[in-house]
């Protein structure tokens, strides 16, 4: 077999050069030839299509204007307003009419004409964006016009109302010969059973262009009417003008111009000439060419049959020079560009062919790397072929964009500070779109403004006011674009609920700024969603943080408000504690070397300080506020005084009986006086002991018992009128036979209350104690015994009541540990529950020592003690001066209650004085000799 020769191979450079050259030459010839041949045809077609499109637009707009009001009017024809006999009944229907005006932007007035010639109308004060009545007072939204209240002919009542239908000012009466029965809308509707529509005309009262719809009432001969505006057709027609000086107008059957896109009165003859079909027809089209005002025009008309009674004419006129200039300019540019490209492509194609093949393999390998998610740096192949170079750059940009998206994801996952988060996202977005300048604004609802949060463009304004969340995105973008310099690309940022959160601004420094592609805009909108997510996420976190802070302060304030004696304690302790923590962090003392708190630890400490006494919400108020020893819900000293009164009268009775029996009167009188004097002294002693101001001696306690052993006769049952609790306490003890002898002071069995099922698990060996509490538990939950309370050696609280007060710290820990706190706040229960511990391990509830207490916990101990000492609102003590308070704290330091290093820091830093200046009364702030409280180094 003969050997087959391989087919000849064509050089890529030659192939590209030949193909490009021939293609460009053929394209140039076709484009130039077709452009010249179709010049006149293009002019005619453009004018005809524009007119047809404008008519369709005007028809659609007029139909959209008339249909909803017609439906509403049909419903309104059944309204009681049609049968209203007087002005009062008609005014009662104003809310229903206002709802109609609010529901439609095009309806400017609703009115009713009655068969007796009376008229009632509600009209918008602002219509088509303009105030229609210059005599309207400030705040007026509606105007009521009606026949005079007395029905006088030739007079009309006018009264303005605000948006809430509140009358503004006084009604006025004007002369008017208006009779609705003489109007076309009234007569037409009277003869019809459906809604009737008038052609567009200029309203006499407001100057707006609009139409009138009327409908006879379902009952009676009244006629309802509506005025609907069509003034926004002008702007829509203007948008469809093919050239700058094209004139578009809508005329009625009398050749009156109803809508005109502008241009001055001198051009109205041009529109009328087109409407009257003047000039020469071009071909078989409806376009005519005529000369007027020193130049040639192309004009055409189309008829709109929206209104059967009166067809409308849409006239379009285009200056000849504008239409020709566009075409000739286009032809010239096409010819020039095609010729230059065709000439140069032969040379460029040769080099492209040689260059393009070499980097293709390298680019193919790069694509393979990207498919394996390898975004490491690489060197793009050098190529002078634009497509090859662009492909390499595009691959670089794609790798960078994907990498930036990855970094944005990491930023959203790891970012904490909102400003840093937004700065990083802005940097990555700018990198993705290939720009260098931009900024992110955050929306402030209170100020109604956008505030610049982060930027990479010093020229951006810091604040943009007049922004509303209800504005559509397109309107807001246009407004911001007018307020920003340069060529900004603006993206509105909204959260998942569609609420405005901010705006992204990118300064476009490359490409055609005036004609950004839809793809670019859509792409920026999509990637800007990461900024909206970041803002929404951080706002949610911050709102949750604010809610948590507010709830905690609410609890603290509720505890303070529970007792006016301890008001503001939960507010002052956190402030003093935070002052000490800040000073400890800044201190260079050895005891605080290396001590610091992160932002989360600082926040954790602040929450614990605010909640340190939240358990007091369970403490009985009469125990917390107990001012005297016999106080429960009330001060029982009054009961005891009554018994002394009984004994006092018993002395009088004995004296009188001795007189009757013939005993020596002087001796009886002396005995009575001595007894009554003794009783007065004994009651005064008991009353003084009730205050609990000084420590009781053993002799005082013995005297209390001696006084209490005196007896008196009770003749009334103590089992009547009891509460459920009191009845339960006396149920196991039989009632004595009356009259019975009782001790003046006693501890009765019913005075005690057992723990029962409510025994708190605070003892170390209690199996229910999961918190490590180590507290002594009294035998009873409460003991109201009179001797038991009066013989308290110090203060006013019994051991049972002291436990109830101390138990608040147990409740604090239990309550806080039941909360679903996040890990970063896991130490809040411990920090809040250690401020009653002591450095020597004798505190409560866990008996922790100083080695087991952190610096913040030791600070809480001092803050709680010092606030209590200096408080001037306690019922059981007088306010102490600074020196007295610091002296007591110093003794507590020596006794192992308070940490010495914390106390030294407290004195040296002067925090005690700064705190005093904020919270102590002036008379408490005395001169403090700090040397008395400082331990020599």
**Whole-prediction pTM:** 0.47
**pLDDT score recorded for residue 514:** 47
Determine how β-strand 142-147 pairs with β-strand 155-161: antiparallel
Q: Supply φ then ψ for residue 19, to 5 degrees.
A: -65, -40
Identify the helix (H) or strand (E) that includes residue 692.
none
Residue 805 has pLDDT above 80, yes or no: no
CA pair distance 278, 172, nearest whole angstrom = 52
pLDDT attached to residue 1: 44
Residues 6+ apart with CB under 8 A from 927: 883
CA distance 885 to 881: 6
Q: Can you tell me the distance from the alpha carbon of 573 to that of 812, in angstroms, rounded to the nearest whole number?
A: 16
Alpha-carbon span 360 to 350, nearest angstrom = 17
Contacts of 652 (CB under 8 A, 6+ apart): 672, 676
List, in sequence order, every beta strand (DSSP E) within 759-904: 782-783
Give the SS3 label for residue 160. Answer: strand
Burial of 55 (C-beta count, 10 Å sphere; 0-12/13-18/19+): buried
Give the whole-number percent of the chain exceeding pLDDT 70: 70
Residue 223: predicted pLDDT: 92
Per cent of the chain over pLDDT 90 is: 2
Q: Could you tell me what percentage of the chain is helix, strand and coil, using 3-state DSSP and rounding each to the nearest 5? A: 50, 15, 35
**Polymer length in residues for the chain:** 937
Least reliable range by pLDDT among 483-497, 501-515, 729-743, 857-871: 501-515
Spatial contact of 300 and 288, defined as CB atoms under 8 Å apart = yes
Q: Around Cβ 434, how many Cβ atoms within 10 Å?
A: 14
Mean pLDDT of 305-312: 67
Q: What whole-number distance in Å separates Cα of residue 736 and Cα of residue 740?
A: 7
Tokens, residue 582: 């800040």
Q: What's CA 594's distance to the chain center, in Å?
A: 40
Rounded CA-CA distance 185/302 in Å is 27
Average pLDDT over residues 621-626: 62
Whether 160 contacts 137, CB under 8 Å: yes
Determine the pLDDT at residue 397: 60
Residues 570 and 557 sit within 8 Å (Cβ to Cβ): yes
How confident is the model over 134-155, as pLDDT tens digits?
888 988 989 898 887 665 667 8
Closest CA to 803 of 828, 833, 829, 777: 777
Q: Which residue has the tokens 């007569």?
A: 187
Q: Which two tokens stand for residue 670?
A: 């002396």
Task: Put residue 162 in one of left, alpha, beta given phi > 0 → left and psi -120 to 50 → alpha.
Answer: beta
Asked whether residue 280 carries a pLDDT value surpassing 90, the answer given is: no
Of the candidate ranges 214-223, 535-544, 600-609, 655-664, the one whose mean pLDDT is the lowest: 535-544
Could you tell me whether strands 280-281 and 257-260 are parallel, antiparallel, or unpaired per DSSP bridges?
unpaired
- More confident site: 562 or 474: 474
The more confident residue out of 279 and 374 is 279
Q: With bands split at pLDDT 50, 70 and 90, how would you rate the model's confidence at 881?
A: confident
The highest-confidence range among 127-141, 244-258, 361-375, 895-909, by mean pLDDT, is: 895-909
With 70 as the cut, is the pLDDT of residue 169 above it? Answer: yes
Kindly tell me if the per-residue pLDDT of 762 is higher than 60. yes
Query: What token pair was written down for 897?
Result: 């209650």
Mean pLDDT throughout 7-34?
63
Of the candidates 85, 232, 223, the one whose C-alpha atom is nearest the C-alpha of residue 151 is: 85
Over residues 881-909, the mean pLDDT reads: 89
Residue 288 pairs in a beta bridge with 281, 299
CB 63 within 8 A of CB 312: no
Secondary structure in 3-state letters for 807-825: HHHHHHHHHHHCCCCCHHH
**DSSP codes joined into one string, 45-59:** HHHHHHHHHHHHHHH
Determine the angle formed by the axes of helices 386-414 and 529-562, rounding to 10 degrees.
10
d(CA 910, CA 918): 13
Q: Are the CB atoms for 28 and 338 separated by under 8 Å?
A: yes
Helices 39-76 and 320-371 pack at an angle, to 10 degrees, of 80
The pLDDT tens digits of the residues spanning 704-728 come to 899 889 988 888 877 777 778 777 7
Q: What rounded mean pLDDT belongs to the chain?
A: 76
pLDDT for residue 813 is more than 70: yes
DSSP letter string over 96-131?
Answer: HHHHHHHH-SSEEEEEEE-TTS-EEEEEESEETTEE
User: Could you give the CA distance from residue 698 to residue 688 in angstroms, rounded to a whole number?
Assistant: 16
Q: 660 falls in which pLDDT band (50, 70, 90)?
A: confident
Angle between helices 529-562 and 569-586 (to 10 degrees): 120
The helix/strand/coil state of 710 is coil
Residue 505 is predicted with a pLDDT of 83
At residue 42 the predicted structure's pLDDT band, cuts being 50, 70 and 90, is low
Tell me the angle at which helices 418-433 and 529-562 cross, rounded to the nearest 10 degrees: 170
- Classify the C-alpha dihedral 932-934-935-937 as positive or negative: negative
pLDDT of the residue at 609? 79
Cis ω for the linkage preceding 106 (within 30 of 0)? no
Query: From the centroid of its chain, how far is CA 417?
Result: 19
Instruction: For the beta carbon of residue 638, count every other beta carbon within 10 angstroms.
Output: 9
Between CA 524 and CA 471, with CA 467 as vertex, the angle to 5 degrees is 70
Give pLDDT tens digits for 589-613. Answer: 888 888 888 888 888 888 877 777 7
Integer Cα distance of 624 and 169 in angstroms: 60
> Distance from CA of residue 791 to its chain's centroid?
59
Backbone region of residue 623 per phi and psi (left: phi > 0; alpha: psi in -120 to 50; beta: other values): alpha
Residues 740-748 have a mean pLDDT of 85
361-380: average pLDDT: 56
**Segment 46-77, tens digit of pLDDT:** 666 766 676 677 667 667 767 788 788 888 88
Asked if residue 560 has pLDDT above 80, the reply is no
Query: Tokens standing for 418?
Result: 């909102």
Residue 146, H or E segment: strand 142-147
Per-residue pLDDT band for 167 (boundaries 50, 70, 90) equals very high
pLDDT, one tens digit per residue, over 99-124 is 888 888 778 899 999 998 889 988 98
Q: Which residue has better confidence, 336 or 889?
A: 889
**The pLDDT of residue 416 is above 60:** no
Q: How open is the CA angle 387-391-392, to the nearest 5 degrees?
A: 120
Q: Specify whether the CB–CB gap between 257 and 224 falls below 8 A.
A: no
Question: Is the model's pLDDT at 204 over the cut of 80?
Answer: no
The highest-confidence range among 165-174, 296-305, 772-781, 806-815, by mean pLDDT, is 165-174
For the chain, list the domains and their CATH numbers: 60-226 (3.30.450.20), 234-328 (3.30.450), 390-542 (3.30.450.40), 563-627+796-933 (1.10.3210.10), 637-749 (no CATH)
Average pLDDT on 242-266 reads 72
Helices vs strands, H then E, count in the chain: 27, 26
Say if CB 91 and CB 145 are below 8 A apart.
no
């Amino acid at each position: 077999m003969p050997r087959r020769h391989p087919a000849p191979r064509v050089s890529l450079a030659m192939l590209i050069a030949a193909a490009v050259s021939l293609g460009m030459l053929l394209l140039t010839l076709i484009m130039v030839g077709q452009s010249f041949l179709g010049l006149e045809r293009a002019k005619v077609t453009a004018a005809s299509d524009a007119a047809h499109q404008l008519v369709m637009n005007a028809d659609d707009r007029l139909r959209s204007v008339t249909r909803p009001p017609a439906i509403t009017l049909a419903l309104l024809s059944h309204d009681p307003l049609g049968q209203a006999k007087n002005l009062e009944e008609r005014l009662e229907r104003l809310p229903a009419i206002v709802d109609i005006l609010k529901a439609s932007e095009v309806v400017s007035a609703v009115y009713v004409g009655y068969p007796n010639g009376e008229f009632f109308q509600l009209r918008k004060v602002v219509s088509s964006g303009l105030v229609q009545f210059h005599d309207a007072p400030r705040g007026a939204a509606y105007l009521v016009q009606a026949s005079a209240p007395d029905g006088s002919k030739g007079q009309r009542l006018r009264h303005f109302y605000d948006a809430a239908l509140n009358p503004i000012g006084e009604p006025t009466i004007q002369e008017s010969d208006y009779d609705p029965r003489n109007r076309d809308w009234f007569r037409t509707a009277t003869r019809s059973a459906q809604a009737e529509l008038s052609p567009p005309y200029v309203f006499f009262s407001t100057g707006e262009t609009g139409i009138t719809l009327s409908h006879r009432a379902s009952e009676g001969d009244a006629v309802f009417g509506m005025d609907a505006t069509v003034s926004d057709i002008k702007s829509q027609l203007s948008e469809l003008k093919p050239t700058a000086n094209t004139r578009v107008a809508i005329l009625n059957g009398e050749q009156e111009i109803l809508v005109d896109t502008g241009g001055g009165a001198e051009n109205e003859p041009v529109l009328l000439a087109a409407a009257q079909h003047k000039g020469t027809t071009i071909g078989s089209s409806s376009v005519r060419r005529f000369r007027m005002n020193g130049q040639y025009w192309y004009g055409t008309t189309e008829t709109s049959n929206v209104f059967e009674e009166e067809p409308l004419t849409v006239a379009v006129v285009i200056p000849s020079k504008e239409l020709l200039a566009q075409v000739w300019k286009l032809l010239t540019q096409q010819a020039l560009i095609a010729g230059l490209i065709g000439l140069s492509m032969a040379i460029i194609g040769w080099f492209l062919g040689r260059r393009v093949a070499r980097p293709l393999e390298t680019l193919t390998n790069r694509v393979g790397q990207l498919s394996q998610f390898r975004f490491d740096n690489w060197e793009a192949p050098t190529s002078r072929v634009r497509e090859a170079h662009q492909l390499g750059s595009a691959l670089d940009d794609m790798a960078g964009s994907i990498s930036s998206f990855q970094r944005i994801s990491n930023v959203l996952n790891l970012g904490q500070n909102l400003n840093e988060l937004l700065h990083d996202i802005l940097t990555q977005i700018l990198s993705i779109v290939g720009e260098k300048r931009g900024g992110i604004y955050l929306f402030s609802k209170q100020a109604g403004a956008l505030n610049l949060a982060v930027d990479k463009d010093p020229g951006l304004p810091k604040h943009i006011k007049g922004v509303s969340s209800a504005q559509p995105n397109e309107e807001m973008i246009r407004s911001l674009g007018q307020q920003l310099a340069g060529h900004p690309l603006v993206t509105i940022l909204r959260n998942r609920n569609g609420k405005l959160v901010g705006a992204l601004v990118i300064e476009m420094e490359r490409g055609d700024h005036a004609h950004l592609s839809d793809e670019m805009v859509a792409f920026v909108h999509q990637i800007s969603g990461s900024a909206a997510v970041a803002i929404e996420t951080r706002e949610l976190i911050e709102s949750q943080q604010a809610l948590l802070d507010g709830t905690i302060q609410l609890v603290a304030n509720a505890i303070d408000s529970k007792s006016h004696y301890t008001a503001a304690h939960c507010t002052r302790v956190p402030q003093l504690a935070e002052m000490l923590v800040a000073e400890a962090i800044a201190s260079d003392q050895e005891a605080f070397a290396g001590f610091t708190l992160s932002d989360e630890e600082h926040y954790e400490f602040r929450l614990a300080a605010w909640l340190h006494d939240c358990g007091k919400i369970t403490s009985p108020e009469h125990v917390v506020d107990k001012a005297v020893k016999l106080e429960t819900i009330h001060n029982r000293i009054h009961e005891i005084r009554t018994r002394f009164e009984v004994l006092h009268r018993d002395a009088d009775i004995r004296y009188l009986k001795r007189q009757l029996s013939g005993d020596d009167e002087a001796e009886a009188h002396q005995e009575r006086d001595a007894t009554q004097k003794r009783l007065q002294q004994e009651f005064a002693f008991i009353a003084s002991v009730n205050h609990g101001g000084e420590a009781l001696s053993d002799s005082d306690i013995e005297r209390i018992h001696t006084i209490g052993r005196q007896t008196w006769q009770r003749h009334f049952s103590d089992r009547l009128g009891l509460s459920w609790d009191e009845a339960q306490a006396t149920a196991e003890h039989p009632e004595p036979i009356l009259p019975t002898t009782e001790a003046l002071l006693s501890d009765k069995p019913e005075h005690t209350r057992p723990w029962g099922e409510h025994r708190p698990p605070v003892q170390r060996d209690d199996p229910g104690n999961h918190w490590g509490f180590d507290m002594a538990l009294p035998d009873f939950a409460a003991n109201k015994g009179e001797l038991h309370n009066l013989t308290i050696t110090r203060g006013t609280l019994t051991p049972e009541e002291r436990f109830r007060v101390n138990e608040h710290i147990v409740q604090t820990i239990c309550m806080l540990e039941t909360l679903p706190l996040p890990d970063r706040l896991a130490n809040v229960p411990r920090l809040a529950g250690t401020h009653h511990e002591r450095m020597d391990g004798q505190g409560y509830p866990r008996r922790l020592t100083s080695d087991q207490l952190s610096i913040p916990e030791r600070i809480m101990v001092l803050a709680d003690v010092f606030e209590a000492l200096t408080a001037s609102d306690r019922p059981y003590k007088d306010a102490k001066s600074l020196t007295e308070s610091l002296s007591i704290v110093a003794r507590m330091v020596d006794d192992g209650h308070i940490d010495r290093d914390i106390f030294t820091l407290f004195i040296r830093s002067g925090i005690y004085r700064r705190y005093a200046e904020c919270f102590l009364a002036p008379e408490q702030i005395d001169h403090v000799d700090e040397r008395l409280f400082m331990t020599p180094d």
